């Protein structure tokens, strides 16, 4: 069975997919049997034959070089660029936790390391109709350890602090923070790194700069993040 790590974010478009791709790429230094998984993807375009292209999966595959089939990366792919619960409702294809777990478990049996990515922020609903399903439900179902991706810029302290507080209240295992769009020497970015550690007791695991093609985490430390 695989060792796993769940990538959560302080919100949408802060670089979860980018960082997930870097993590997948890095795990290949430990084992070539590395994989990526996302329960639900929205905002995807269509191929000429009408089938949906799982955009985040394509991006991770291109960045990391993994040979995992795209079809194994995400069980629910939607066209509308909305929260998964709304995109699923419009498509008439609600997310079923049983199917998500079945697809993940199949993946876990075939790979050594699986990097999972959430949708939006930690409170993002996957389903909200006669049934309720959230990212937290999925994380708890397999007791995934998690890392938080946050933008290094203005306003991140509030997002990081609230996300961490919620995750801790839910009993989730948050291993630390990875800053995206970090600029060394930028007084605000440097201060945010210090303040996240001092205010919230969070370890800053890495700081990713724009355009980075690797993440500065040593292979032994990377292996220790995955459980």
* 30 Cβ neighbours under 8 A, 6+ residues apart: 112, 113, 219, 222, 223
Query: Residues 201-219: what's their mean pLDDT?
Result: 97
> Is 13 annotated as belonging to a binding site?
yes
Kindly state the tokens that stand for 51: 């089938």
Domain boundaries, the chain: 3-225
Whether 87 contacts 6, CB under 8 Å: no
Whether 17 contacts 104, CB under 8 Å: no
In the chain, % of residues over pLDDT 70: 100
* 140 Cβ neighbours under 8 A, 6+ residues apart: 170, 171, 172
- Give the active site residue among 3, 25, 26, 38: 38
pLDDT at 32 over 90: no
Would residue 140 show up in a list of annotated catalytic residues for this protein? no
Looking at residue 4, its pLDDT comes to 98
Kindly state the tokens that stand for 183: 């600029």
The residues facing 134 across adjacent strands are: 125
Looking at residue 198, its pLDDT comes to 98
In the chain, % of residues over pLDDT 90: 98
> Is 211 annotated as belonging to a binding site?
no
Kindly state the tokens that stand for 88: 């699923």
Query: Residues 81-90: what's their mean pLDDT?
Result: 97
User: Rounded to an integer, what distance in angstroms lies between the CA atom of residue 56 and that of residue 43?
Assistant: 10
List pLDDT tens digits, range 126-150.
Answer: 999 999 999 999 999 999 999 999 9
Query: Residues 159-187: what's their mean pLDDT?
Result: 98
**Average pLDDT over all residues of the chain:** 97
Query: Residues 72-85: what's their mean pLDDT?
Result: 97
Q: Can you give the length of the chain in residues?
A: 227
Looking at residue 128, its pLDDT comes to 97
Give the model's confidence band at 61: pLDDT under 50 very low, under 70 low, under 90 confident, else very high: very high
CATH code for residues 3-225: 3.40.50.300
> Is 117 annotated as belonging to a binding site?
yes
Give the model's confidence band at 119: pLDDT under 50 very low, under 70 low, under 90 confident, else very high: very high
3-state secondary structure of 219: helix
> Is 192 annotated as belonging to a binding site?
no
Whether 42 contacts 80, CB under 8 Å: yes
Q: How far are the Cα atoms of 87, 151, 178, 179 from residue 187, in angstroms, in the given order?
A: 39, 14, 18, 14
């Amino acid at each position: 069975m695989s060792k796993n790590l769940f990538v959560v974010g302080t919100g949408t478009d802060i670089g979860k997919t980018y960082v997930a791709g870097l993590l997948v790429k890095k795990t290949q230094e430990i084992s070539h049997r590395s994989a990526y998984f996302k329960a639900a993807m929205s905002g995807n375009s269509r191929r000429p034959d009408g089938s949906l292209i799982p955009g985040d999966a394509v991006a991770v595959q291109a960045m990391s070089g993994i040979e995992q089939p795209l079809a194994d990366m995400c069980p629910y792919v939607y066209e509308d660029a909305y929260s998964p619960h709304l995109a699923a409702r419009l498509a008439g294809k609600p997310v079923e936790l049983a199917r998500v777990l079945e697809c993940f478990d199949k993946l876990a049996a075939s790979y050594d390391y699986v990097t999972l990515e959430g949708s939006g922020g930690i409170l993002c609903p996957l389903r909200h109709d006669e049934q309720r399903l959230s990212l937290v439900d999925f994380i708890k179902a397999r007791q995934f350890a998690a890392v938080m991706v946050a933008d290094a810029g203005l306003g991140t302290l509030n997002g990081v602090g609230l996300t961490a507080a919620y995750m801790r209240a839910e009993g989730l295992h948050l291993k630390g923070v990875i800053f995206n769009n970090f600029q060394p020497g930028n007084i605000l970015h440097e201060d945010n790194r210090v303040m996240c550690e001092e205010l919230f007791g969070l370890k800053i695991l890495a700081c990713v700069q724009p355009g980075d093609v690797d993440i500065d985490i040593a292979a032994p430390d990377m292996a220790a993040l995955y459980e």
